Chain A
Amino acid sequence: MHDDLLGPLPSRLDRRQFLTRAGWTGLGAGALVAGARRAHAQPRVAYPDWIAASSNPPKRGGVLTRASSWDPPVIDPRLTQSIGLHQFAVLVGNRLVRYAFADEASGPTDLTLKGDLAESWQPSPDHRVWTFKLRQGVKWQNVPPLNGREFVAADVKYCFEAYAKEGAQSFTFQEIEAIETPDKYTVRIHLKTPNVLFPQNVAEPITILFAREVLEQDGDLKKHLIGTGPYILKEHTRKVKVVLARNPDYFDKGRPYFDEYVILSTPDAATRMAAFRTGQSDIIWLASPSEVETVRKTNPNAVVQSYHNTLTPFGVALAQDKPPFNDVRVRRALSMAIDRQKQADTLFEGHGIIGWGVPYIYYQDKAPTLADLGPWWQYRPAEAKKLLAAAGHPNGFETTLFYYEYFPQMTSQVQLVQQDLKRNLNIDVKITKLDYTTYYGRYAESKWDGMSWGFQSGHAVGLDERTYQYMHSKSTKNFFRVNDPVIDQLTTKLRQTPDRADQRALTKKIVDREFDQVLRMWMPYDNGFLVFQPHLRNGAALALRRTDGYGASAIARVWADK
């Protein structure tokens, strides 16, 4: 009725006609898209794993911007090891010692220690006392209440004692028995037990030195973070951005090169990619080769570094203090029933590592192959079944596994393990996916049964952290519940072995023992790529320290060639 009255009749279209036309339109569009995709299909490019430092003289100025998925939970470095904070805290503060930056390193696996706030360091003959000689003339940033006063040995003592007293870094500093400051520029640290690796521990990015005045004034460091570093924290707006301004009084004259470093809180991966494509972000981390290819379609000049992990942070943790996982045969059977190569090929598009926990660079030159990991790490389902039967479980058993999805592929990875164990060993794994807080609380409490998708934290570079601290039965970081007297003995001995060659040999023994006993059942992990805008220089990531993460102190050496 209303049609007749509103004016000329529009042409009628019945449902069938409409659906037919819509269907043909859709088919046509689909064919066009498919054709376009085929036309653009290209073979994969191999990207370099190292980008050498530029030989051109660095240029000053400009703003470096990075869209980051991480937000700092708090800015008090005593309270968290979160990458959200340490992606920039290490630019505000300095450590006593640091690792080589990209423009100083011979390659990504160069782990040479360099002085940061310390110029030199010497151990006592028994390695229980370490003496650090501080750089002279270093000033705190020129902001109240520090106002550029000189950095002295008493600051180190105050800071280390505060770290040891409470908070997330206390483990590292609790091995300190006493600290002496014989003069303004000398710090003498007495350890409870000998540790040849102590300088590595104070080179970790989480050990930055903060200003005592702020802690005394505010009672915490949640509002102000002041250090001696290359950048001053100018602004921190939660869930928006962190703005760092160049510190004109930085002791390393001429550096940093950028006037500002802006970290934009960008939780969504697609948005981070869009930000890079449109030039709003200068650095991006991409997980897979296909993502790199996608970005290079719009940004063909982007510089890509193919990153190669030296360890995997994730693996299956077993309640190995209880049956059935206290039986090494069960652990070995489980390990042999899991097809790791399939995970690496399918989930990480072939750009992943098979999985091991101690960074290989501490015991050999090349990344281990699957064969190097030993017999229990090969995919041999028939042998696995026999071994499980010999351990008294011919018909399998039921168990549980809880996890938190750290990255999107993890759920598929957990399900692949579940399928492998069911198909090959008739083990029924009941999976529970948890949110982070629940997962972490349960995992760190170490009172769980069955299995968990375990982790080791991402910040640590040092060998001590990766061996003694994560594997010694008495360590509070022994999340995988390793309780092996041989490991205890070897990791303790490692702390007393100063010679680098001996350290390598000892580390290899620790790793071999771990593999043989399947103490931590490591799983494949992606390698990823660091992608830079073409004008960036000296930003290459190094082993265990990515420029966009815990290795952010290297940003002080990055500059723009434009």
Chain B
Amino acid sequence: MIPRELQTRAINGPVPAILLALTLAWLALIIGAPLATVLVEAFSKGLDTFLATFGEPDALAAIRLTLLVAAIAVPLNCAFGLAAAWSIAKFEFQGKALLLTLIDLPLSMSPVVSGLVWVLLFGARGWFGHDLDILGIKVIFAVPGIVLGTIIVTVPLIARELIPLMAEQGADEELAATTLGAGGWTAFRRVTLPNIRWALLHGVLLCNARAMGEFGAVSVLSGHIRGLTNTLPLHVEALYNDYDFVGAFSAATLLAGLAIVTLVVKTVLEQLIRAGATAKPS
């Protein structure tokens, strides 16, 4: 493998410096400034007001709901992602390309549509709405709907992390484990899982960040009932619409903090994945 330093050519002259300056200026404008605004606004009336935002029952309910949704959606997508990546990478079957396209679909679809499909299926006038009503199950404008909306939006994130890696690794190690007497679960736990652990964590992290931050699909499905069906992003919007700017931005700092933590952990994981892909005493 070519050392990293040799892959990037050193270019002399003013062009790289100008490009770098432009990039930094653009990032400062597009990312730095809004992030700073969030913090400035959140603390504009002092620390007490900032903290008071999180004392409100509606805010606490929003945080709880966001955590609950992520706690359901992420493990489900993790299981699905593993199963899909396993079957696509380790087996040959017809319709593989179609399955791959389907997994990718939510990425190219507007989240609003991802939310609306559930309304069409389970809403009061939807295909199964009447039956659900008789059974007394409420999906739309309730927690199950929010979970469904979050799942559909985040479905590709873990599978896409795993498929290329598992395809590259092939199935020989699992076959070797089997002939050495390992059962399916042992082979998965002791051979497959360690080989994909960093990529899996990376996928879980992205999935979690998206699940907690999702607005579009959840907005369609939640019904915006304060204290009941508002997730944190929806709560921010609700506060903002009430002209409670300090409250809105304070809540937003939580989401921004999540983004920053995600970013740091993601960077660390990516280095671990790279280390695992080349040589690897771990």
Decide whether A and B assemble into one complex: no
